[in-house]
Structure 1
Amino acid sequence: MHIAVLTLRVALPGCRSLKEKRQRMGGLHERFGRHPSIAVCESGELDRHDASEWSFVVVGTSSRDVASLCSEIEDKLQRTVDGRVLDATREFL
């Protein structure tokens, strides 16, 4: 069993409310949380309007599977979220 924690920090320029922040982040729980190998939560910047931090716990049978899922999450987030990814860190446990 291989496990990684992927943490992404996102800037949301011009975001003026928590409601707008939720709309711009666009349902990450629904998109990624349905996958049986991924757990997702908003892990930081909870009260800031112009930034967000999300953590994903990815589990797989091989390190290659886990790395591939992490890359897929990063790519999809960059394409679908109305914001700019500032930082992405991966920690393999």
Structure 2
Amino acid sequence: MHLSILTLNFSLPGCRSLKEKRQRMGGMHERFGRNPAVAVCESGEHDLHESSEWSFVVVGNSKRDVESLCSQIEEKIQSSVDGRVIKAVREFL
């Protein structure tokens, strides 16, 4: 069993409220949490309007499977979130 923690930091330019932030980042749990190999949560910058941090715990039978799933998550986020990924960190445990 292999495990990785993918942490993504987002910039949300022009975001003026926490409600707008939730709308722009909304659906992360629904999109990625359905996969039994992925756990997702907002892990930081909860009270800031123009930034957000999300963590994804990814498990798989091989390191290659885990790396592939992490890459898929990053690609989907780039095209679906109304914000910019400014930092992505992968930790393998």
SS at match of 1:54: strand
Q: TM-score with structure 1 length normalisation?
A: 0.99
SS at match of 1:65: helix
In 2, the alpha carbon distance for the partners of 1:54 and 1:34 equals 16
Counting aligned pairs with the same residue, the percent is 73
For 1:62, give the aligned amino acid: S
Q: Which residue is equivalent to 1:50?
A: 50
Q: Which residue is equivalent to 1:10?
A: 10
Q: Which residue is equivalent to 1:61?
A: 61
In 1, the alpha carbon distance for the partners of 2:74 and 2:50 equals 19
Aligned-pair RMSD on alpha carbons? 0.4
Q: For structure 2, which runs of at least 5 residues remain unmatched after alignment?
A: none
The alpha-carbon deviation at position 77 of structure 1 amounts to 0.6
- Once the two structures are superposed, residues 49-75 of structure 1 have per-residue CA deviations (whole angstroms, 9 ceiling, x without a partner) of 000000000000000000000000000
In 2, the alpha carbon distance for the partners of 1:52 and 1:78 equals 14
Q: Which residue is equivalent to 1:77?
A: 77
Q: TM-score with structure 2 length normalisation?
A: 0.99
In 1, the alpha carbon distance for the partners of 2:28 and 2:17 equals 18
Q: For structure 1, which runs of at least 5 residues remain unmatched after alignment?
A: none
The alpha-carbon deviation at position 31 of structure 1 amounts to 0.5
Q: Which residue is equivalent to 2:22?
A: 22
In 2, the alpha carbon distance for the partners of 1:22 and 1:76 equals 18
Runs of 4+ more than 2 Å apart:
none
